[in-house]
Each structure stands twice: as C-alpha cells, then as structure tokens.
Structure 1
C-alpha cells in the first residue's frame, strides 16, 4: 500500500504539500493539487482516517454499543446515529452488549483498542461507578437511555416514570379500572421505572395494582404472548393491558384475539416505543412515542463534540419525555 512518502516522491513535492492536499489545506496551487490527487488515485493511496482526524481536531470514528443489533428499537437508534456521522464524515464501529455485564465491558474495551475517543453507549448491566470511570477516561463518552447524576451532562435519557404515568393516565381517561401490566423480566431500570409510574398514577386515582396483575417475560412478541396467556390462565379480569413495549403489545393482542377476545372492544392494549411495528398491528397500536432517533442523533452530536475538545457543560442534562400516539387499540368504556 502506498504511503504519503511514496506520493511525495512520485510528485516531486514535500510531505507537507501532500499533507495539505489530503486535508484540503491552503497554500497548494490548483494544478499541483490535481496532479497529487491523480497520483494518489493511480497508486491506490488511502488517507489514514485517524491521522486526518488529528489534523482536523475531530474524531475519525464513533464507537457504538447497543443491547441488540436486530431489535427494531435499536435499529432505529443506530439509524439516528448514522444520520449524524454521515453528515460529519465519521465512521461507525458498532458492537452489541446483550445486556450482560461482561459482554458490555468487552464491547467497550474493543472500541478503546480501536482508539475511539467518541462513544455512544447503551449500557444496562455495568454499574454506575464503572461508567463514571469510563466517562473520565474517554473524552467523547456519552450514555444513551440511562441517567447517572454524577455524569448528567453525558446522559441522553428518557423519563420512564413519566412514561408509565402517561400510559396509566390515558387508560384511566378512557374509563378503564381493571388494569393488567406485562413487562420485561430483565433486571434493568426501565421496566421498574415504568411500573413505578403506572402505580403512582393509579394510586393517585385510588386504584391498586396487585402484583398478581403484573406478568413478566422477554420483551418481544413471544414474551407478550406468554405474559397474557399467564394472566388468562390465572383467571384475571381486566379491560386494559399496559405493555412494556410494542413487541409485547403485539404478542398480547395476538393471544387475546386467539382466545376470541375482541381488541379493543373487550380489552384495550397500549404499547411503548412507537416502532414501525405499531403502525402495522391490527388494530393499529396506541402507544407511547419514544423519540429514540432524535435522542440518538443528539447523543452522537455530543460524543463527537466532546471528543473534539469541547468540554461538557456542568449541570446540563438531556432528558426526553414520551408522548401518547392514539391509534385504534384503545377505546372508551
């Protein structure tokens, strides 16, 4: 592979002149610039991205750690990040953490080995202390979908308690009092916070949510099917199902309909996330919009900005709030 020195020798110019051409610098005539570029093409020269990043004082690559690469939610998140990096000519190095402590750690270590000074990390398994330490080591370290007060200015997060309250409030406004919840069995803060919000809103209305009315399973369509199947098997009476995410809501509607239960006229269902699936359920799914793509773009912008030497402003936080998207799966009783 040709080097910058090879290009300089072939063109009969200095290394500094070739460097200026590579980095679109000044003080190089048009004819000389075109001749050097032609030689670079002929010799198959490819500029070193990290070297160019040093000259331009910005990160050459953005490291990304997601929980799952195939999940529609994380696909949307990745799309938001990619939209930002494409504009800035930055490469993405992506890895999966699988919501497992050691896997998340290894994913981050791999990015560090590739000298990523900008990272957007979705971590649910690593403890706060580890992430705070990483924020001190990596200039452009940004967390998405998690809030740690000590590094608030590096967190882009969603208020899940508010989201849970919004779900319950909407169902109450539609006259529902017999409510069931299907949630993720993963030991992370998101399902805990959403249930907390649901309980707070119901308690404010004088309605209890018994533990027996909450079923936990995997946060996918099969998990939604299993959770509602278990509720039905226990003989629970409910007119509304509040689901951890759209996938579980979709699975729940399938099982209810398989049992001859009309959705939404007998049981209303609400999801969470507003991924593409929500628009194509039958009936179309009423859900909470999680502005994940906007959040991902913001997280990528912050990571690249911090990696370029802009210091995070103390005390600043980047909190987002989910909003109701009304479709067809909820009706008034």
Structure 2
C-alpha cells in the first residue's frame, strides 16, 4: 500500500504538505498541490479514511435521518445540506425513520455506532426529552423542522403556525368565508401547527372553525384527491381549500377537475412548501414558501461551525414563511 511518505518523496515535498492537500487544511500553493495530486495519481495512492479518523478522532461523516425519501421536499432539503458539506469535503450518511419512534431511535443509534461526527435529524416520533438527553450526553446534533426550547441553539425550524395563518388569511382577504382544509398527518408537529394557524386566521375574521370542512390527509398527493372527494361528499359548500402541503394541493386540484370544477373560478386552492413543481402546475400554485433548501444548507453550516470550526455563519433558528401568489386563488364568483 502506498504511503504518504512515498507520495511526499515523489512530489519533493514534506509529508505535512501532502497531508494538508489530502485533508484540504492549511494553505498550499496551487503549483505544490498539483505536484502532490500528480504524485498520488501516478503511485495509485488512496487515502485511508479509517486510519485518519482514528488519528484525528473525526470521520468527516455526518448522519442524516429523514422521515422518508419520497417526494421533492426531503430531496430539496438534503440537497442543500449535501452541497454545503461536499464543498467542505465532508460526507453524508442518510437513514429513514418513517415517523416511527422505534425506527428513528434505531437509525440514530446506527449512525452513532458508525462514528458520525454529527447528526442532522428530521425526526417526528421521538420525544423532545430523548433529543435533549442526546445533547446532554455530548452528541453533536441539529434538529430541523422542529423547535425544542431546551436545546434551541440546536434547532432550525419554520414558523408553521404563522404559515398556516398566512394561507387562510390570504383566502379571507380575497373574500372567501367558506374555506375547507386538508390537513397533513395530525400526529406530526407540522401538521398540527399548520392547522392551528388556519384556525387562528378564521378566528381573527370572526369565522367559527367547522370540523366538517376539515379532512386529515398524510402529506401525499393521493390524500389530497381523497380529501376533496370526502369533503364534497359531506355536502357542505366551500369556495376555497387550503392544503397543508403542495403535494396534497396538486392532488386536490386534479380531483376538482375530475369533478368538473374549475380552479380557481369555482374553487380556489392554496398549498404549503413552495416545492419546485408548484410553479409548473397549471395554473401555478399559490402557496406558502418553506425555504427547505436554505434550511438544509443552514443545518450543514451549523455542523461545519460547531463540529469542525469551519467559518462563522449566520443562523436564523426560526425561519419566517411567506405567501407566494400564483394562479390558483381568486375572489369567489
């Protein structure tokens, strides 16, 4: 096996210089770096990550737990994280927790057993106490899409209540009073909080929340379509529907069209998240912006700052949502 010493002799530089090139630490002149890289390629040198991690007590690997890999939401979030970590020569191990407490704990323990330097956690079933205890044990972790007061510096989340409020407030402001709601899974914090904001907006307009105008979906497009059919079957009229995410909104729009309803002329639709496909629907989906890529990037920066001491980044631990106006909402006819 080729050693760093052999590379240094071939390139005519010190072993320390070769190490700086390999680990991208310290200042190395570009001409010297090219000499080292050429020597490594000629000799067939491969960096022994295991040996290096034993020496430095760092694996340069970050574990990432998300509920699932389905849909564009988690892809956008992980994409922002991966890009920032890759630029810093760090690696990511991804695991799915499926919103199940037992699975989430098992995945967290599996990543820790692989000596990940830090964890980024989008977990929905484990308790706040469990996460607080991990931090107290010295585990380096950042929680995304969840706020826990005891470890607020370790959290990056969206103000979901405000987002739910903004969506309903927009519909109220353009004249709707009969507003249906397709919720996300109500065992999840973001599902609960977005519905809470919706209720607050109705209350602020003096409109009593009507349980018969709410359908609990599961954040997937199919449940948005099922929600529209269920709401229509109840016979309670509505001129607008707010959906807890864009996937369900897209499903709702399809179901409305299948039933001969025009969007937005007959029924206005608003989503939540502002995922990439929202602007490509016809008409483009009015929605609430959840800057998931930005939050993923901030999670990576948290790790780079707190674990590796690389740079000093500004953090917004609670991100503000904003209304994105497109073509699926209009005043009731």
User: TM-score, normalised on structure 1?
Assistant: 0.88
Q: How does 1:1-333 map to 2 (within 5 A)?
A: 1-4=1-4, 19=19, 22-23=22-23, 40-49=40-49, 60-308=60-308, 318-333=317-332
Question: Which whole-Å CA distance do the structure 1 matches of 2:29 and 2:167 have between them?
Answer: 64
Question: Which whole-Å CA distance do the structure 2 matches of 1:261 and 1:25 have between them?
Answer: 61
Question: Which whole-Å CA distance do the structure 1 matches of 2:78 and 2:12 have between them?
Answer: 45
Please identify, of 18-27 and 281-290, the stretch whose mean Cα deviation from structure 2 is larger: 18-27
- Whether contact under 8 Å (1:181, 1:213) holds in the other structure is yes
Q: CA deviation at 1:328?
A: 0.4
Q: Deviations over 1:116-159 (max 9, x none)?
A: 12221101111111111222335531000000000000100011
Q: SS of 2:92's equivalent?
A: strand
Q: CA deviation at 1:286?
A: 0.3
Q: CA deviation at 1:89?
A: 1.3
Aligned residues between the structures: 330
Question: Which whole-Å CA distance do the structure 2 matches of 1:204 and 1:129 have between them?
Answer: 34
Residues 43 and 109 of structure 1: is their aligned pair in 2 closer, same or farther, counting only changes over 3 Å? Answer: farther
Please identify, of 321-330 and 25-34, the stretch whose mean Cα deviation from structure 2 is larger: 25-34
Q: Which runs of 5+ in 1 are unaligned?
A: none
Please identify, of 298-307 and 21-30, the stretch whose mean Cα deviation from structure 2 is larger: 21-30
Q: Deviations over 1:282-330 (max 9, x none)?
A: 22110000011111111110022111269x9xxx961011101000000
Residues 230 and 37 of structure 1: is their aligned pair in 2 closer, same or farther, counting only changes over 3 Å? Answer: closer
- Whether contact under 8 Å (1:163, 1:197) holds in the other structure is yes
- Whether contact under 8 Å (1:178, 1:240) holds in the other structure is yes
Report the RMSD for the aligned CA atoms in angstroms. Answer: 3.2
Q: Which runs of 5+ in 2 are unaligned?
A: none
- Whether contact under 8 Å (1:23, 1:55) holds in the other structure is no
Q: SS of 1:279's equivalent?
A: helix
Question: Which whole-Å CA distance do the structure 2 matches of 1:277 and 1:141 have between them?
Answer: 31
Q: CA deviation at 1:37?
A: 5.3
- Whether contact under 8 Å (1:135, 1:142) holds in the other structure is no
Residues 210 and 42 of structure 1: is their aligned pair in 2 closer, same or farther, counting only changes over 3 Å? Answer: same
User: TM-score, normalised on structure 2?
Assistant: 0.88
Question: Which whole-Å CA distance do the structure 2 matches of 1:317 and 1:17 have between them?
Answer: 38
Q: SS of 2:183's equivalent?
A: strand
- Whether contact under 8 Å (2:271, 2:286) holds in the other structure is yes
- Whether contact under 8 Å (1:80, 1:294) holds in the other structure is yes
Question: Which whole-Å CA distance do the structure 2 matches of 1:28 and 1:165 have between them?
Answer: 53
